[in-house]
Amino acid sequence: LASSWPFSLPPGNVPDPSPVPVNATEACPGAPFLGWMYMAQPIYIVLICAVGMVGNAFVLLVLVLHRVSCTVAEIYLGNLAAADLLFVGCLPFWAANIVNGYNWPFGEFLCKSVSAVIYMNLFCSVYLLAMVSIDRYLALVHTMTSGRTRSPACAKMTCLAIWAFGFLMSTPVILFRTVMAKPEYNISACLLRYPSEGWSLNLEILLLVFAFIVPGSIITFCSCQILQVLRNNTMRQFMQVRKETKSSKLVLLVLLMFFLCWLPFHFFTFLSILQKLGLIPGCRWEAVLENGNQITTFLGFTNNCINPLLYVIVGKHFRKKAKEVFERSAARKRRKLNLASSASSARTSIITLRNRV
Protein backbone atom coordinates (compact mmCIF):
# COMPACT_ATOMS: atom_id res chain seq x y z
CA LEU A 1 0.00 0.00 0.00
CA ALA A 2 2.98 2.30 -0.37
CA SER A 3 1.35 4.13 -3.27
CA SER A 4 -1.57 5.22 -1.07
CA TRP A 5 0.73 7.92 0.32
CA PRO A 6 0.26 11.44 -1.20
CA PHE A 7 3.69 11.44 -2.90
CA SER A 8 3.83 7.62 -3.04
CA LEU A 9 7.42 7.44 -1.83
CA PRO A 10 7.34 4.93 1.05
CA PRO A 11 8.69 1.71 -0.51
CA GLY A 12 7.42 -0.76 2.05
CA ASN A 13 4.55 -1.32 4.44
CA VAL A 14 2.12 1.53 5.01
CA PRO A 15 1.05 1.68 8.67
CA ASP A 16 -2.17 -0.29 8.97
CA PRO A 17 -4.32 -0.72 12.08
CA SER A 18 -5.62 -4.09 10.94
CA PRO A 19 -3.95 -7.44 11.75
CA VAL A 20 -1.45 -9.01 9.35
CA PRO A 21 -3.39 -9.63 6.12
CA VAL A 22 -4.27 -13.12 5.02
CA ASN A 23 -2.15 -14.52 2.19
CA ALA A 24 0.45 -11.78 2.67
CA THR A 25 3.74 -12.61 1.04
CA GLU A 26 6.95 -12.55 3.05
CA ALA A 27 8.31 -9.02 3.20
CA CYS A 28 10.58 -6.81 5.23
CA PRO A 29 9.13 -6.12 8.70
CA GLY A 30 7.83 -2.61 9.33
CA ALA A 31 9.70 -0.30 11.65
CA PRO A 32 8.69 -0.61 15.32
CA PHE A 33 7.41 2.96 15.76
CA LEU A 34 4.93 3.00 12.84
CA GLY A 35 2.09 2.46 15.33
CA TRP A 36 2.49 5.76 17.14
CA MET A 37 3.13 7.51 13.83
CA TYR A 38 -0.16 6.17 12.51
CA MET A 39 -1.94 7.61 15.58
CA ALA A 40 -0.17 10.99 15.37
CA GLN A 41 -0.60 11.61 11.63
CA PRO A 42 -4.31 12.65 11.58
CA ILE A 43 -3.85 15.00 14.56
CA TYR A 44 -0.81 16.61 12.93
CA ILE A 45 -2.61 16.97 9.59
CA VAL A 46 -5.64 18.65 11.21
CA LEU A 47 -3.32 21.04 13.10
CA ILE A 48 -1.45 21.98 9.90
CA CYS A 49 -4.76 22.38 8.08
CA ALA A 50 -6.25 24.69 10.73
CA VAL A 51 -3.19 26.95 11.03
CA GLY A 52 -2.57 26.92 7.26
CA MET A 53 -6.14 27.78 6.28
CA VAL A 54 -6.44 30.67 8.74
CA GLY A 55 -2.96 32.04 7.98
CA ASN A 56 -3.05 31.81 4.18
CA ALA A 57 -6.65 33.10 3.99
CA PHE A 58 -5.54 36.07 6.12
CA VAL A 59 -2.61 36.80 3.75
CA LEU A 60 -4.88 36.68 0.69
CA LEU A 61 -7.49 38.85 2.42
CA VAL A 62 -4.93 41.55 3.21
CA LEU A 63 -3.41 41.53 -0.30
CA VAL A 64 -6.82 41.60 -2.04
CA LEU A 65 -8.51 44.23 0.17
CA HIS A 66 -5.59 46.65 0.41
CA ARG A 67 -6.10 49.74 -1.77
CA VAL A 68 -2.53 49.97 -3.02
CA SER A 69 -1.81 47.53 -5.86
CA CYS A 70 0.49 44.61 -5.06
CA THR A 71 4.20 44.73 -5.78
CA VAL A 72 5.74 42.04 -7.99
CA ALA A 73 6.98 40.10 -4.96
CA GLU A 74 3.53 40.33 -3.35
CA ILE A 75 1.91 38.92 -6.51
CA TYR A 76 4.17 35.87 -6.26
CA LEU A 77 3.66 35.55 -2.49
CA GLY A 78 -0.11 35.95 -2.94
CA ASN A 79 -0.14 33.11 -5.45
CA LEU A 80 1.99 31.08 -3.04
CA ALA A 81 -0.62 31.69 -0.32
CA ALA A 82 -3.37 30.58 -2.75
CA ALA A 83 -1.43 27.40 -3.60
CA ASP A 84 -0.87 26.67 0.09
CA LEU A 85 -4.56 27.31 0.84
CA LEU A 86 -5.58 24.80 -1.84
CA PHE A 87 -3.07 22.34 -0.45
CA VAL A 88 -4.18 22.50 3.19
CA GLY A 89 -7.80 22.30 2.01
CA CYS A 90 -7.01 18.84 0.64
CA LEU A 91 -5.26 17.53 3.76
CA PRO A 92 -8.45 16.63 5.72
CA PHE A 93 -9.22 14.02 3.05
CA TRP A 94 -5.88 12.32 3.79
CA ALA A 95 -6.48 12.58 7.53
CA ALA A 96 -9.84 10.84 7.09
CA ASN A 97 -8.17 8.27 4.84
CA ILE A 98 -5.61 7.40 7.54
CA VAL A 99 -8.24 7.26 10.30
CA ASN A 100 -10.30 4.97 8.04
CA GLY A 101 -7.41 2.50 7.81
CA TYR A 102 -6.50 3.67 4.26
CA ASN A 103 -9.97 2.64 3.06
CA TRP A 104 -10.70 5.59 0.72
CA PRO A 105 -14.35 6.68 1.24
CA PHE A 106 -14.54 9.66 -1.16
CA GLY A 107 -14.73 8.05 -4.60
CA GLU A 108 -12.59 8.05 -7.75
CA PHE A 109 -12.87 11.77 -8.61
CA LEU A 110 -11.61 13.02 -5.24
CA CYS A 111 -8.95 10.30 -5.20
CA LYS A 112 -7.49 11.81 -8.38
CA SER A 113 -8.17 15.51 -7.75
CA VAL A 114 -7.01 15.68 -4.11
CA SER A 115 -3.79 13.81 -4.96
CA ALA A 116 -3.21 16.03 -8.01
CA VAL A 117 -3.61 19.26 -6.00
CA ILE A 118 -1.17 18.02 -3.34
CA TYR A 119 1.36 17.04 -6.01
CA MET A 120 0.82 20.25 -8.03
CA ASN A 121 1.45 22.38 -4.94
CA LEU A 122 4.93 20.88 -4.60
CA PHE A 123 5.90 22.28 -8.01
CA CYS A 124 3.94 25.56 -7.89
CA SER A 125 5.23 26.60 -4.47
CA VAL A 126 8.92 26.06 -5.24
CA TYR A 127 8.75 27.85 -8.61
CA LEU A 128 6.83 30.77 -7.11
CA LEU A 129 9.59 31.04 -4.50
CA ALA A 130 12.18 30.83 -7.29
CA MET A 131 10.46 33.78 -9.00
CA VAL A 132 10.42 35.71 -5.71
CA SER A 133 14.18 35.15 -5.39
CA ILE A 134 14.70 36.24 -9.02
CA ASP A 135 12.64 39.38 -8.35
CA ARG A 136 14.73 40.24 -5.27
CA TYR A 137 17.91 39.50 -7.26
CA LEU A 138 16.85 41.90 -10.04
CA ALA A 139 15.73 44.54 -7.53
CA LEU A 140 19.03 44.55 -5.64
CA VAL A 141 21.68 43.48 -8.15
CA HIS A 142 20.23 45.05 -11.32
CA THR A 143 18.35 47.95 -9.76
CA MET A 144 18.65 50.35 -12.69
CA THR A 145 17.93 47.95 -15.57
CA SER A 146 15.21 45.64 -14.27
CA GLY A 147 12.20 47.97 -14.53
CA ARG A 148 10.45 46.32 -17.48
CA THR A 149 10.99 42.73 -16.42
CA ARG A 150 9.67 43.47 -12.92
CA SER A 151 6.24 44.70 -13.98
CA PRO A 152 3.02 43.39 -12.34
CA ALA A 153 1.69 42.29 -15.75
CA CYS A 154 4.80 40.19 -16.34
CA ALA A 155 4.50 38.70 -12.83
CA LYS A 156 0.85 37.71 -13.43
CA MET A 157 1.72 36.00 -16.72
CA THR A 158 4.58 34.16 -15.01
CA CYS A 159 2.22 32.97 -12.24
CA LEU A 160 -0.21 31.68 -14.87
CA ALA A 161 2.63 29.77 -16.55
CA ILE A 162 3.70 28.28 -13.19
CA TRP A 163 0.14 27.08 -12.45
CA ALA A 164 -0.02 25.50 -15.92
CA PHE A 165 3.37 23.83 -15.38
CA GLY A 166 2.26 22.51 -11.98
CA PHE A 167 -0.88 21.04 -13.54
CA LEU A 168 1.19 19.46 -16.32
CA MET A 169 3.53 17.82 -13.80
CA SER A 170 0.55 16.41 -11.89
CA THR A 171 -0.99 14.70 -14.95
CA PRO A 172 0.62 11.30 -14.13
CA VAL A 173 -1.19 11.44 -10.78
CA ILE A 174 -4.49 12.22 -12.53
CA LEU A 175 -3.94 9.39 -15.01
CA PHE A 176 -2.70 6.68 -12.64
CA ARG A 177 -4.39 7.40 -9.29
CA THR A 178 -7.34 5.09 -8.83
CA VAL A 179 -9.49 3.50 -6.15
CA MET A 180 -8.56 -0.18 -6.11
CA ALA A 181 -9.78 -3.06 -3.95
CA LYS A 182 -7.14 -4.67 -1.72
CA PRO A 183 -8.77 -7.91 -0.53
CA GLU A 184 -5.77 -8.87 1.61
CA TYR A 185 -6.43 -5.75 3.72
CA ASN A 186 -10.22 -5.73 3.21
CA ILE A 187 -10.15 -2.13 1.93
CA SER A 188 -10.51 -0.06 -1.25
CA ALA A 189 -7.44 2.20 -1.33
CA CYS A 190 -6.61 5.33 -3.34
CA LEU A 191 -3.46 4.06 -5.07
CA LEU A 192 -1.00 5.00 -7.77
CA ARG A 193 -1.13 2.19 -10.30
CA TYR A 194 1.63 2.63 -12.89
CA PRO A 195 1.73 0.59 -16.11
CA SER A 196 5.22 -0.64 -15.17
CA GLU A 197 7.81 -0.33 -12.37
CA GLY A 198 9.89 1.99 -14.55
CA TRP A 199 7.21 4.70 -14.27
CA SER A 200 7.70 4.99 -10.51
CA LEU A 201 11.48 5.39 -10.84
CA ASN A 202 11.26 7.89 -13.72
CA LEU A 203 8.67 10.04 -11.94
CA GLU A 204 10.74 10.14 -8.76
CA ILE A 205 13.74 11.31 -10.81
CA LEU A 206 11.47 13.91 -12.46
CA LEU A 207 10.28 15.05 -9.02
CA LEU A 208 13.82 15.38 -7.68
CA VAL A 209 15.13 17.26 -10.73
CA PHE A 210 12.21 19.63 -11.45
CA ALA A 211 10.86 20.14 -7.91
CA PHE A 212 14.21 20.58 -6.20
CA ILE A 213 17.46 20.62 -8.20
CA VAL A 214 16.42 23.13 -10.91
CA PRO A 215 14.48 25.63 -8.74
CA GLY A 216 16.86 25.03 -5.82
CA SER A 217 19.83 26.03 -8.00
CA ILE A 218 18.04 29.23 -9.08
CA ILE A 219 17.12 30.10 -5.49
CA THR A 220 20.65 29.37 -4.21
CA PHE A 221 22.31 31.54 -6.90
CA CYS A 222 19.92 34.46 -6.37
CA SER A 223 20.15 34.23 -2.58
CA CYS A 224 23.96 34.28 -2.67
CA GLN A 225 23.89 37.38 -4.88
CA ILE A 226 21.34 39.06 -2.60
CA LEU A 227 23.42 38.32 0.51
CA GLN A 228 26.48 39.76 -1.21
CA VAL A 229 24.62 43.02 -1.89
CA LEU A 230 23.24 43.15 1.65
CA ARG A 231 26.80 42.93 3.00
CA ASN A 232 28.01 45.67 0.66
CA ASN A 233 27.89 48.92 2.67
CA THR A 234 28.50 51.07 -0.41
CA MET A 235 25.45 49.67 -2.21
CA ARG A 236 23.26 50.03 0.89
CA GLN A 237 23.76 53.80 0.80
CA PHE A 238 21.48 54.04 -2.27
CA MET A 239 17.90 54.79 -1.21
CA GLN A 240 16.34 52.29 -3.65
CA VAL A 241 18.62 49.49 -2.48
CA ARG A 242 17.88 50.32 1.17
CA LYS A 243 14.15 50.14 0.40
CA GLU A 244 14.47 46.76 -1.35
CA THR A 245 16.72 45.41 1.42
CA LYS A 246 13.85 45.32 3.94
CA SER A 247 11.66 43.06 1.79
CA SER A 248 14.65 40.98 0.71
CA LYS A 249 15.40 39.95 4.30
CA LEU A 250 11.85 38.59 4.68
CA VAL A 251 12.13 36.76 1.36
CA LEU A 252 15.45 35.18 2.39
CA LEU A 253 13.84 33.93 5.60
CA VAL A 254 10.90 32.44 3.65
CA LEU A 255 13.36 30.71 1.29
CA LEU A 256 15.42 29.40 4.22
CA MET A 257 12.33 27.90 5.89
CA PHE A 258 11.31 26.28 2.59
CA PHE A 259 14.71 24.58 2.29
CA LEU A 260 14.70 23.48 5.94
CA CYS A 261 11.24 21.92 5.53
CA TRP A 262 11.65 20.28 2.11
CA LEU A 263 15.36 19.37 1.88
CA PRO A 264 14.97 16.22 4.05
CA PHE A 265 12.04 15.05 1.88
CA HIS A 266 14.07 15.37 -1.32
CA PHE A 267 17.04 13.68 0.34
CA PHE A 268 14.85 10.64 1.02
CA THR A 269 13.51 10.87 -2.54
CA PHE A 270 17.12 10.55 -3.69
CA LEU A 271 17.65 7.53 -1.41
CA SER A 272 14.43 5.99 -2.74
CA ILE A 273 15.77 6.34 -6.30
CA LEU A 274 19.02 4.63 -5.26
CA GLN A 275 17.03 1.81 -3.68
CA LYS A 276 14.95 1.31 -6.84
CA LEU A 277 18.20 1.14 -8.82
CA GLY A 278 19.40 -1.60 -6.45
CA LEU A 279 22.27 0.48 -5.05
CA ILE A 280 21.05 0.31 -1.42
CA PRO A 281 19.28 -3.05 -1.03
CA GLY A 282 18.15 -4.74 2.17
CA CYS A 283 15.36 -4.65 4.75
CA ARG A 284 17.27 -2.26 6.99
CA TRP A 285 17.29 0.46 4.32
CA GLU A 286 13.67 -0.26 3.45
CA ALA A 287 12.62 0.39 7.06
CA VAL A 288 14.73 3.59 7.19
CA LEU A 289 13.22 4.88 3.94
CA GLU A 290 9.70 3.94 4.98
CA ASN A 291 9.80 5.90 8.22
CA GLY A 292 12.02 8.68 6.87
CA ASN A 293 9.71 9.36 3.94
CA GLN A 294 6.68 9.69 6.18
CA ILE A 295 8.39 11.96 8.73
CA THR A 296 9.97 14.22 6.08
CA THR A 297 6.71 14.43 4.12
CA PHE A 298 4.99 15.86 7.18
CA LEU A 299 7.93 18.18 7.81
CA GLY A 300 7.42 19.46 4.25
CA PHE A 301 3.69 19.90 4.88
CA THR A 302 4.56 22.17 7.82
CA ASN A 303 6.02 24.75 5.44
CA ASN A 304 2.53 25.51 4.10
CA CYS A 305 1.50 27.12 7.38
CA ILE A 306 4.82 28.80 8.30
CA ASN A 307 4.90 31.58 5.67
CA PRO A 308 1.90 33.58 7.01
CA LEU A 309 3.49 33.54 10.47
CA LEU A 310 6.74 34.91 8.99
CA TYR A 311 4.87 37.73 7.20
CA VAL A 312 3.23 38.80 10.47
CA ILE A 313 6.29 38.38 12.72
CA VAL A 314 9.04 39.65 10.38
CA GLY A 315 7.29 41.54 7.56
CA LYS A 316 6.86 45.16 8.70
CA HIS A 317 5.40 46.15 5.32
CA PHE A 318 2.82 43.35 5.48
CA ARG A 319 1.88 44.26 9.07
CA LYS A 320 1.37 47.86 7.94
CA LYS A 321 -0.88 46.70 5.10
CA ALA A 322 -2.88 44.46 7.44
CA LYS A 323 -3.31 47.30 9.93
CA GLU A 324 -4.54 49.65 7.18
CA VAL A 325 -7.03 47.05 5.90
CA PHE A 326 -8.51 46.43 9.34
CA GLU A 327 -8.54 50.13 10.27
CA ARG A 328 -10.42 50.90 7.05
CA SER A 329 -12.82 48.04 7.72
CA ALA A 330 -13.41 49.27 11.28
CA ALA A 331 -13.96 52.84 10.03
CA ARG A 332 -16.50 51.56 7.50
CA LYS A 333 -18.39 49.72 10.25
CA ARG A 334 -18.36 52.84 12.44
CA ARG A 335 -19.78 54.91 9.56
CA LYS A 336 -22.54 52.35 9.02
CA LEU A 337 -23.37 52.37 12.74
CA ASN A 338 -23.39 56.18 12.78
CA LEU A 339 -25.65 56.28 9.71
CA ALA A 340 -27.97 53.71 11.26
CA SER A 341 -28.01 55.69 14.51
CA SER A 342 -28.69 58.95 12.63
CA ALA A 343 -31.49 57.31 10.64
CA SER A 344 -33.00 55.92 13.83
CA SER A 345 -32.80 59.36 15.51
CA ALA A 346 -34.41 60.97 12.45
CA ARG A 347 -37.28 58.46 12.50
CA THR A 348 -37.77 59.05 16.23
CA SER A 349 -37.87 62.83 15.68
CA ILE A 350 -40.42 62.51 12.87
CA ILE A 351 -42.65 60.27 14.99
CA THR A 352 -42.38 62.72 17.92
CA LEU A 353 -43.34 65.68 15.68
CA ARG A 354 -46.31 63.77 14.26
CA ASN A 355 -47.53 62.93 17.75
CA ARG A 356 -47.31 66.60 18.76
CA VAL A 357 -49.29 67.69 15.70
Query: Mean pLDDT for the chain?
Result: 81
As a whole number of Å, the end-to-end CA separation of the chain is 85
**Domain ranges across the chain:** 35-335
Confidence check: pLDDT of 23 > 90: no
According to DSSP, the β-strands at 187-192 and 177-182 are antiparallel
C-alpha triplet 67, 72, 78: angle, nearest 5° = 70
The 3 state secondary structure assigned to 124-181 is: HHHHHHHHHHHHHHHHHHCCCCCCCCCCHHHHHHHHHHHHHHHHHHCHHHHHHEEEEE
pLDDT category at 14 given cuts 50, 70, 90 is very low
pLDDT tens string 108-144: 999 999 999 999 999 999 999 999 999 988 888 887 6
Amino acid making up residue 245: T
**Pairwise pLDDT comparison (163 vs 328), residue with the higher score:** 163
Per-residue pLDDT of 188-243, as tens digits, reads 999 999 988 889 899 999 999 999 999 999 999 998 888 888 777 555 555 555 55
Least confident segment among 3-7, 65-69, 317-321: 3-7
Which CATH number is 35-335 given?
A: 1.20.1070.10
